[in-house]
Structure 1
Amino acid sequence: MPKEIIMIFPTHPRSHFTALLSIPFLLASAPDMQAADESPLRTLEQLIQSEPKPFVVVEATEEDFSGRGQGVVISPQGHMLSVGHVCWSHKLDRFVDHFRARIRSSSDQPPFGATHQHKAIFKDREDQAFYEYLFNATLVQQAGSRFIDHRDLALFKIEAKGDMPFVEFYSDDRPELQVGDRLTLCHYIFPDREADPTFMLNPIEVVGVVQTPSGIQYLADGYCRYGSSGGAILKDGKLVGIQSSTYPVNAHEIGEIPIGLLSFHPVWRSLVAETLDTPAPDTTEPD
């Protein structure tokens, strides 16, 4: 049984957003979700209710620094994509090298050999409990760099036991995206709030491009907020991008309004195929 930490707090105020969600999802570990007679909204419900999800919170931690972002599992062995800038600490003014992945769940059964368990009790929901399971993770450098192809992308390997749920890539090669394409952003709304299960699948629309220090990224219009960096972006239920930055509306004396523009890098399998296709080392001991 992993080490358990219990927190008790009221839930956050409810937020209300209306959007047309029209993109079906294909979860790689659950092919039965592809039934033709399922409505798009029902398919979304099935994905968001799946446990454990292939979407995680990524944490960089060192000394008295802790920074978090989003991530998505892309292989049953626990390879995970996120943003590269999660590796950088402005507070320490340097890169950090210790990482953890956090899987959130309503189940009290630790999955995949978790090292720690956090339990959150929501008092204003009649003491309903939610859980967060922690796993050590390792940054997998690509061509000697923390970043994949000089982009704001990083590949991690979660230290877990057994096959993990994962999301398939949309394409082996660079995907062709167009202005007006409707995609779906997947992200935990409160990644810094221990074990908070609030998770959103919301539509975004490709509207342009932006030049950044990590190269050209696509711009999309839709709901976004600080903390959603690293979130998976899906097309037809498969991974087509990783969110890098947000450009929210800032209102005087009000602060951030979490509706605006976000930018993302497109992703495809051949970007990391060499790592994914390398057999895992044999750790069994000889007789």
Structure 2
Amino acid sequence: MKIRFLLASLLLAVAPIGAAVPAGTLTGELEAKIRQIEEKSSPAFVFIGGGSGVVISPDGYMLTNHHVAGKSQTWQVFLGGGRRFMADMVGKDPFGDICLLKLRGAKDLPFVEFGDSDSLEMGEYVVAIGNPFMLGRSDYQPTVTVGVVSAIHRFQTNYSDAIQTDASINPGNSGGPLVDFQGKLLGINGQIMFRHGNKVNTGVGFAIPVSQIRRFLPALKKANGGEVNHGQILGLVFSSDWPDGKGAPVQEVQKGTTAEKAGFQAGDWIVKVGPYSVVNPRRARGLLLTWPAGSAVKVVVRRGSEEKELTVTLDEWKVTPPATPAPQQPAQPRRRRNK
């Protein structure tokens, strides 16, 4: 496959214009690694509407953003290289901005394996694969951009535990994969920060982590084309006076609610949700939103001088998702004329 590399300022050593990059140099090794990732990941890339997607299983399950594909139950899509399929909606997550679709008649497709977004650290190299400004629709070759993990656990509107990256992400990249240097899926790209109304890359992009997506997959597969809901704990009231870094202080537990039934008490400090540490109430709320409603989640509270583990079944988070860019209308299947 042809490769469109937008390396920006990543390379530390730059060869003179027109000169071949010597093998064994830092630049040569980096370029060889990026080519290897592209060759592994691009065949699983999906062109869908005005955005991007990625195949995650050999039998044709694929992921994209809800703001790319959520308005239609059926899409015509193209894999990298131009192979055409019809894809049916399996499940939607409007708040989390994820759609799961299934390619009809798919068998032995190239796919991107799930990686481990929980182990990410700032400064790690990542690769974004996408279709910015629909540049790839002429030859069905995606664009590859490279950057680093700028931050983790960002609470950005409805992306409550996002990966932040400086890999170049623009309109059209939405729904495409963010992969590590082993070519494994770390997240689905979906948002960028922009200034002065210009919707172009500013070096601040956000991806939904694969750890969150993995928790939603069983519910999405059972949704029959419908929607899934995020989780919360009803009845918890956090204090408005709290020092960052010590947890989320519970000011009140409302009677008859899920919080009371799970054993929370006023004066508790939530210090962990699942395997993740909690530094303040915003972090606690954001973490709970990364599980689907109905999930049984372990929450650790500090009560006096002791820590206590509570298990709580999450209530539904019912909220209208924030406004997202209007998706392109689904492509219509080509029809053959009768001879």
Choose from 113, 134, 139 the match for 2:89.
139
Closer, same or farther in 2 for the Cα pair 1:15/1:152, shift >3 Å? closer
Give me the whole-angstrom Cα distance separating, in 1, the residues matched to 2:218 and 2:11. Answer: 34
Give me the whole-angstrom Cα distance separating, in 2, the residues matched to 1:46 and 1:81. Answer: 22
Q: Which residue of 2 aligns with 1:261?
A: 204
Give me the whole-angstrom Cα distance separating, in 1, the residues matched to 2:93 and 2:161. Answer: 15
Q: Quick one: percent identity of the two aligned structures?
A: 25
Closer, same or farther in 2 for the Cα pair 1:244/1:198, shift >3 Å? closer
RMSD: 3.3
Structure 1-normalised TM-score?
0.58
Closer, same or farther in 2 for the Cα pair 1:151/1:259, shift >3 Å? same
Give me the whole-angstrom Cα distance separating, in 2, the residues matched to 1:240 and 1:216. Answer: 13
Query: How many residues are aligned here?
Result: 198
Counterpart code for 2:183? G
Counterpart code for 2:107? G
Q: Report if aligned partners of 1:249, 1:260 keep a CA contact under 8 Å in 2.
A: no
Q: Which residue of 2 aligns with 1:240?
A: 186
Q: Report the secondary structure of 1:194's partner residue.
A: helix
Say whether residues 1:154 and 2:136 are aligned partners: no
Structure 2-normalised TM-score?
0.50
* CA shift for structure 1 position 217: 2.4
Q: Which residue of 1 aligns with 2:38?
A: 48
Q: Report if aligned partners of 1:249, 1:258 keep a CA contact under 8 Å in 2.
A: no
Closer, same or farther in 2 for the Cα pair 1:44/1:207, shift >3 Å? same
Q: Which residue of 1 aligns with 2:266?
A: none
Give me the whole-angstrom Cα distance separating, in 2, the residues matched to 1:163 and 1:48. Answer: 19
More strand by share: 1
Q: Report the secondary structure of 2:43's partner residue.
A: coil
Give me the whole-angstrom Cα distance separating, in 1, the residues matched to 2:41 and 2:98. Answer: 26
Q: Which residue of 2 aligns with 1:170?
A: 115
Unmatched tracts of structure 2, length 5 or more? 13-27, 223-339
Counterpart code for 1:138? D
* CA shift for structure 1 position 151: 1.1
The CA deviation string for residues 221-243 of structure 1, in whole angstroms up to 9 with x for no partner, is 23221111112111232111111
Instruction: Considering Cα pairs closer than 8 Å and 6+ residues apart, tell me whether 1 or 2 has the greater RCO.
Output: 1
Q: Which residue of 2 aligns with 1:63?
A: none
Closer, same or farther in 2 for the Cα pair 1:161/1:78, shift >3 Å? closer
Closer, same or farther in 2 for the Cα pair 1:81/1:48, shift >3 Å? same
Give me the whole-angstrom Cα distance separating, in 1, the residues matched to 2:42 and 2:191. Answer: 26
Unmatched tracts of structure 1, length 5 or more? 1-13, 22-37, 60-67, 89-94, 106-131, 278-287
Larger Rg: 2
Give me the whole-angstrom Cα distance separating, in 1, the residues matched to 2:109 and 2:166. Answer: 31
Give me the whole-angstrom Cα distance separating, in 2, the residues matched to 1:16 and 1:214. Answer: 26
* CA shift for structure 1 position 96: 2.4
Alignment of 1:1-287 (within 5 A): 17-20=8-11, 39-49=29-39, 53-59=43-49, 68-88=50-70, 95-105=71-81, 132-141=82-91, 146-147=92-93, 150-171=95-116, 175-191=118-134, 194-196=137-139, 197-207=141-151, 209-235=154-180, 236-250=182-196, 255-268=198-211, 269-272=214-217
More helix by share: 2
Runs (4+) of structure 1 exceeding 4 A deviation are 49-52, 273-277
Q: Report if aligned partners of 1:48, 1:199 keep a CA contact under 8 Å in 2.
A: no
